[in-house]
Amino acid sequence: MSGRLPDWIATPQKDVEPKPLTRNGVSSLVKKEEVMSETTPLDLRERGPQTHVDPSSIPLDEIDVSDIGLWTSDTFWGYFERLRKEAPVHYCADSEFGPYWSVTTFNDIVYVEKNPEIFSSEPNVTIVDPPPEALTKGAGFISMDGMRHDEHRKVVQPVSSPRNLKHLEPLVRERVIEILDGLPTDEEFDWVDRVSIELTTGMLATMFDFSWKDRRKLTFWSDMMTASPVQLAAMGKTQDDRRAALLECLDVFTKLWDERKDKQTDKLDFVTALANADATQDIDPITYLGTLILLIVGGNDTTRNSISGGVLALNENPAEYDKLRNDPSLIPNMVNEIIRWQTPLAHMRRTATQDTELGGKAIKKGDKIVMWYVSANRDETAIDRANEFLIDRENSKQHLSFGWGGHFCMGSRMAEMQLRVLWEECIKRFRKVEGVADPVRVPSNFVKGIQELRVRVQPW
């Protein structure tokens, strides 16, 4: 790793406050005078002007599906249904995230994904526009295209390859058994903390060869990276705390880099791969941090929220839970359906590199294009009975939760394996994991997640 951190990163800035936007693993700093909605009450930021409003009552050109309130209340579905029918490619001129195009149908999103020379991942892959001084703007291969993206991705891809996952599966099963056998059977508890986070954090620690006793630091860094200001406040944290967490993450992983540089090992882990590959051994600290963020958030938020979302989906669809109890061989297929149904990352963003046309609409160079995977996964023109949760669904892998094309999720098989092993062991022990309270949802239009899910397990 070469280079040094810019001075502004190491020195906290007192004249900055977080912009009230949802983050995706980027620590963005915005000067006070640039904050557009600093005076907006927090309850309004959470509730949003479109929450619990009939989507048909709002003029089409005023619909803003990025409204955070829609996501905390889980009330965005009607808006996407209307857009798919009336304006599959829809322009929102005024939102808290600036103007953007929504792409809401399966086939249109695939077209965008297939044409990175027109719709680029650079400089950012979420609806948020980080300012120039953002700590990791454009860092990490998810924000790259072409050969540079491919070279960086190839370095870490073997860690999550089918061959390595086959080697890791017995360890994952051992940990799943330990987690499930440690759950209380006579009281309710938070499934997110006791199961979803514990399992995915353990897997991350393995993939990074990270200290087992410190593994929850990975969860903390991931949460700090993606937290909105509302979440930060709820955590009792500030923007300076977010910066400190990012720098702590970089410091810890720089030490691991130095320890593993120029060392040959039979063990596959992300840090060793990055430190010794020709394509990445000379990356600068910020690119390294951006890559770490990508791998930590990708391995934590997506799998963790599919684990939680699966419990919720089965509780909301008791007939499907009956199918599972009667035929556990459906589990591999059910895993695909859970991932489609939950869509743990609601969107990815591209930026137009030239004037073009999409869905009959004129797109200008520099326009922000938001691909709403969560909408495409309910597109009934592409997926039969898309608005039903069916664990025995045919063609269950036909979904966009992992993206498409060159940016298809590198950790997809890792996520599927963890979910499969979890449910194989879960159905052996528990007749039902019963939800006992409404879920608390993450206030984000990027991470479609569950913060808390109170449950009680019912042993056979």
Per-residue pLDDT of the chain (460 residues; tens, 9 = 90+): 655 444 333 333 333 333 332 323 332 322 322 322 322 333 334 456 788 899 999 999 999 999 999 999 999 999 999 999 999 999 999 998 999 999 999 999 999 999 999 999 888 888 987 655 555 555 555 666 666 666 666 677 777 777 878 888 999 999 999 999 999 999 999 999 999 999 999 988 988 899 999 998 998 888 887 776 667 777 788 878 888 898 899 999 999 999 998 877 767 788 888 888 888 888 888 888 888 888 888 777 789 999 999 999 999 999 999 999 999 999 999 999 999 999 999 999 999 999 999 999 999 999 999 999 999 999 999 999 999 999 999 999 999 999 887 666 777 888 999 999 999 999 999 999 999 999 999 988 999 999 999 999 999 9
Q: Which helix (H) or strand (E) segment is 26 a member of? A: none
- Going by their DSSP bridges, the two strands 368-372 and 100-103 should be labelled as parallel
Residue 295, pLDDT score: 84
Q: What's the confidence (pLDDT) of residue 13?
A: 36
Residues 439, 308 contacting (CB under 8 angstroms): yes
Which pair of tokens denotes residue 301? 């938020």
**Rounded distance between C-alpha atoms, residue 336 and residue 210, angstroms:** 29
Cα angle 392, 397, 401 (rounded to 5 degrees) comes to 115
Could you tell me the two tokens for 322? Answer: 């009956």
Q: What angle do CA 269, 270, 276 make, to 5 degrees?
A: 95
Query: In the prediction, which pLDDT does 290 show?
Result: 81
Amino acid at 410: M
The helix-helix angle for 331-342 and 285-316 (nearest 10°) equals 110
Tokens 């990356």 locate to 283
Give the distance from CA 296 to its chain's centroid: 10
Provide the pLDDT for residue 9: 39
Asked if residue 162 lies in contact with residue 310, where contact means CB atoms within 8 angstroms, the answer is no
Match 């829609």 to its residue by tokens: 70
Distances (CA, A) of 159 to 13, 95, 269: 38, 39, 6
For residue 203, count other CB atoms closer than 10 A to its CB: 25
Closest by CA position to 345, among listed 197, 448, 441, 416: 448
Number of helices (H) and strands (E), helices first, in the chain? 18, 14
245: enclosing H helix or E strand: helix 239-260
Gap between the Cα atoms of 50 and 43, Å rounded: 14
C-alpha of 223 from chain center: 11
Residue with tokens 């910020």: 286
Q: Is 254 exposed, middle or buried (0-12, 13-18, 19+ CB in 10 A)?
A: middle
Per the CB < 8 A criterion, the answer to whether 238 and 252 are in contact is no
Quote the CA–CA distance of 293 and 227 in Å, as a whole number: 13
Residue 141, pLDDT score: 56
Rounded CA-CA distance 331/333 in Å is: 5
Backbone angles phi, psi at 149, to 5 degrees: -60, -50
Q: Hey, how many other C-beta atoms are within 10 angstroms of the C-beta on 40?
A: 12
Structural domain boundaries in the chain: 15-177+190-302+345-384+401-425
What distance in Å separates the CA atoms of residue 252 and residue 274, rounded to the nearest whole number? 15
pLDDT (0 to 100) of residue 374: 98
The CATH architecture annotation of domain 15-177+190-302+345-384+401-425 reads Orthogonal Bundle (1.10)
Q: Please tell me the predicted confidence (pLDDT) of residue 29.
A: 28
Report the side by side order of strands in the sheet with 430-435: 189-190, 454-459, 430-435
> Would you say 435 and 293 are in contact if contact means Cβ atoms under 8 Å apart?
no
| CB 418 within 8 Å of CB 303 | yes
Phi and psi angles of residue 136, each rounded to the nearest 5 degrees, phi first: -125, 30
Q: What 3-state DSSP class applies to 452? A: strand
Which residue blocks in 36-145 are alpha helix, DSSP H?
Answer: 42-47, 68-72, 77-86, 106-114
Residue 172 CB coordination number (10 Å):
21
Helix/strand/coil percent split, the chain, to 5: 50, 10, 40
d(CA 287, CA 177): 37
**Amino acid making up residue 3:** G
Q: How many CB atoms lie within 10 A of CB 43?
A: 9
How much is the pLDDT for 110? 97
